[in-house]
Amino acid sequence: MTNEALISVAQQVLLGNYRSAPLVFVEGKGCRLTDADGKSYLDLCAGIAVVSVGHSHPELSRAIGAQAAQLMHVSNLFYNERAIELGQQLTQRTPFSKFYFCNSGAEANETLLKLARRYHHERGARGDKARTKIITALQSFHGRSMGALTMTGQPKYQEGMGPMVGDVEHVPYGDLDALRAKVDTRTAAVILEPVQGEGGVVAATTEYLAGTRELCDDVGALFMLDEVQTGYGRTGRFLAREWSGVMPDACALAKGIAGGFPLGAVGLREELAHGLPPGSHGTTYGGNALACAAALAVLRIFDQERLVENAERVGVHLGRRLDALAADSATPAAVEARGLGLLRGIAVADAYDPAPIIADVRRRGVLLSIAGGNVLRFSPPLCVTAAEIDEGVAVVEAALKSAKPRS
């Protein structure tokens, strides 16, 4: 069936809650996707920073197939070998000593919220000494379930969904004074993204993250990072926290962790391990053998192909190309290059509408996404080459050059 025929069926049977572009993809290999009409695209979006090792990586496909043939799921009524191995691997590759597995970024952030409150509760912070306040940033994005949605500092996502979860407050991102004014002995945790992805690819400074850590320590609050978009090599380090050296108490992961297979995770410091005692939290599928086998394959591929190093090296190249676009007077629609590693964006001037620009880029055979309403976001597979980046940036440049200001 053609794109058009498939989309007409989709419109009848799928809920219209997504603004999907009119393309149906049927195959992928590395950084290339093929649609139902047989047209090939350079994928610099990677399913929103998910397809970390590229499409249909043979090692990942093999591992998923082999695990599916051996054992997929037993629930957390029992242990499975793959979850144990993945926990071992992640405790070796990060400073966290315990891991909890779930299925998505929103679920990982729900876990951070519940862990923060319950941790203080377990330590006796109850009654008028209860610590329930959660502080997150404006323009943040933490997911769509009610807790994660409440944490998300963008009212447009919350419209008509209220009431939100109680005692969650937002502060301007990057503003330590604003945070200082809110953090107090009622605060359970401050939860931040090291780079705000959906908010427009805005990176926190080391001073901000270090200052937040200090403010939290001063009042006994926890400091947690949402690394759902930035983690797992995306910024050229296994975790984006490594750039600042700041150690959070816990961190949420998802997206690229299993290369496209749904899996979320929370890593935590040993001291927090008693924060979620037996029976206090969980999910049926969390850490199932199939998802964990996929995540283990992703780690093997990272090592074999040095993909985190590639993300740093090719990320620097992408950054230079975007800086040049922002500085080029022939592309007045591009005003500012932002980001870290292979999570980067180029902000579009107010005078231009980014939607037709991204649609033009797509017609020319390159896939990107929009973040923060006005930023063309690049989040390619971590195996992308400098030549593929050059190919994509040339297409973006051509689209920017032919963009017309809003009338």
Ligand X SMILES: Cc1ncc(COP(=O)(O)O)c(C=O)c1O
Active site residues: 141, 226, 255
Nearer to ligand X, 290 or 334 (CB): 290
C-alpha span between 345 and 50 (Å, rounded): 16
Other CB atoms within a 10 A radius of the CB of residue 326 amount to 14
197 binds ligand X (CB under 6 A): yes
198 binds ligand X (CB under 6 A): yes
- Tell the residue number behind the tokens 């090792």, with chain if given: 53
Query: How do beta strands 133-137 and 168-171 pair?
Result: parallel
The 291-320 site mask, x for binding ligand X (CB under 6 A), equals: ------------------------------
| Segment lying near ligand X (by CB under 6 A), choices 59-67, 125-133, 225-233, 306-314 | 225-233
C-alpha span between 258 and 67 (Å, rounded): 13
Give the interface size with ligand X as a residue count (CB under 6 A). Answer: 15
228 binds ligand X (CB under 6 A): yes
Nearer to ligand X, 55 or 234 (CB): 234
- Binding residue for ligand X (CB under 6 A) from 46, 222, 246, 254? 254
| Segment lying near ligand X (by CB under 6 A), choices 192-200, 271-279, 286-294, 368-376 | 192-200
| Segment lying near ligand X (by CB under 6 A), choices 76-84, 104-112, 209-217, 335-343 | 104-112
The burial of 97, by beta-carbon neighbours within 10 Å (0-12 exposed, 13-18 middle, 19 or more buried), is given as middle
Nearer to ligand X, 94 or 109 (CB): 109
- Binding residue for ligand X (CB under 6 A) from 226, 312, 336, 397? 226
- Binding residue for ligand X (CB under 6 A) from 52, 139, 212, 229? 229
The 46-85 site mask, x for binding ligand X (CB under 6 A), equals: --x-------------------------------------
- Residues numbered 319-378 forming contacts with ligand X, rule: CB under 6 A: none
- Binding residue for ligand X (CB under 6 A) from 52, 67, 80, 104? 104
| Segment lying near ligand X (by CB under 6 A), choices 18-26, 30-38, 193-201, 208-216 | 193-201
C-alpha span between 270 and 152 (Å, rounded): 27
Nearer to ligand X, 226 or 397 (CB): 226
Nearer to ligand X, 18 or 78 (CB): 18
Nearer to ligand X, 104 or 187 (CB): 104
C-alpha span between 385 and 72 (Å, rounded): 34
With CA atoms as reference, report the closest residue to 228 among 243, 240, 244: 240
Nearer to ligand X, 15 or 69 (CB): 15
- Binding residue for ligand X (CB under 6 A) from 57, 116, 192, 193? 193
- Residues numbered 109-168 forming contacts with ligand X, rule: CB under 6 A: 109, 141-143
- Identify the sign of the CA torsion 309, 315, 316, 318: positive
| Segment lying near ligand X (by CB under 6 A), choices 51-59, 99-107, 111-119, 216-224 | 99-107
- Binding residue for ligand X (CB under 6 A) from 105, 267, 319, 345? 105
Find the residue with minimal CB distance to ligand X: 105
| Segment lying near ligand X (by CB under 6 A), choices 24-32, 120-128, 223-231, 371-379 | 223-231
Nearer to ligand X, 189 or 228 (CB): 228
106 binds ligand X (CB under 6 A): yes
Residues linked to residue 369 through DSSP beta bridges, in sequence order: 377
Q: Which residues in this chain contact ligand X in the complex, by CB under 6 A?
A: 48, 104-106, 109, 141-143, 193, 197-198, 226, 228-229, 254
